Amino acid sequence: MTPTWRATADVLVADLQTIFATRLRAVVAYGPRLEEEAGTSLTCFALVDSLTARDLETCAGRAAGWDQAGLATPLLLTAGEFQESLDAFPLEFGEIIRTHARVYGTDPFEGIAIDPADGRRACEHQVRSHLLHLREGYMESGGRPQPLAELVTYSAPAFVALLRTLAGLAGTVPAGRINATLEGARIAGVGEGVVRDLLALERSSAVPMADAARLFPEYLASVEQLVRTVDAWRT
């Protein structure tokens, strides 16, 4: 059976073929929609031979249509930029490698693996930045429920992505987005309950804002625990 996201991806491919013609090398879909997370926009990565200001202008003219079709703005890179970016963005590309499907052209991620050393350095940087952001955000919220709930809701996806990264660095990534996240939590010693609550926030309409605010103390403690785990790997 054809995946439900495939028709959405084909809309993007048709538009990119019109814009780039023979310069379009590959398009891959990745992210939550490929793991049956209904209601989320489809994220895609496109590889092109060249990318000009005129190309970007034309893509900008298609952005509203992509949004209406359920497409997130695609990630566009030239072939040269792609090769130079793997060590600069190991977490982002690691997440694409973990769950992606070829839509057009050859799979640019076939046979590619992220250097564990690059992944660990990037993971440490991001989790420490995340912790500082949460502490600063809490002070700026004044402890008021509404801004605190917004802080938790909007920052949670980055944290659960870091847990999946941890699972990948440990070489034990199970199939499925939720399972990969929970495996990272197990490795870090983070409680499964708070992680499931944070995952639910990605569908924020299903979680009352007051409940999101009440998650903050346990959420902060979980981030601190992840920092300790990553720091132990570094030393």
In DSSP notation, 73-137 reads PPEEEEHHHHHHHTTTSHHHHHHHHHSEEEEEES-TTTT----HHHHHHHHHHHHHHHHHHHHHH
Checking if the pLDDT of 169 tops 70, the result is: yes
Q: Over the chain, what is the mean pLDDT?
A: 88
Run of H or E including 58: helix 53-68
pTM over 0.75: no
Domains of the chain and CATH, by start? 6-105 (3.30.460.10), 116-234 (1.20.120)
Is residue 11 within 8 Å of 66, Cβ to Cβ? yes
Within a 10 A sphere around the Cβ of 25, how many other Cβ atoms?
18
Give pLDDT, residue 165: 85
The percentage of the chain sitting over the pLDDT mark of 70, rounded to a whole number, equals 93
Per DSSP, the three-state class of 24 is strand
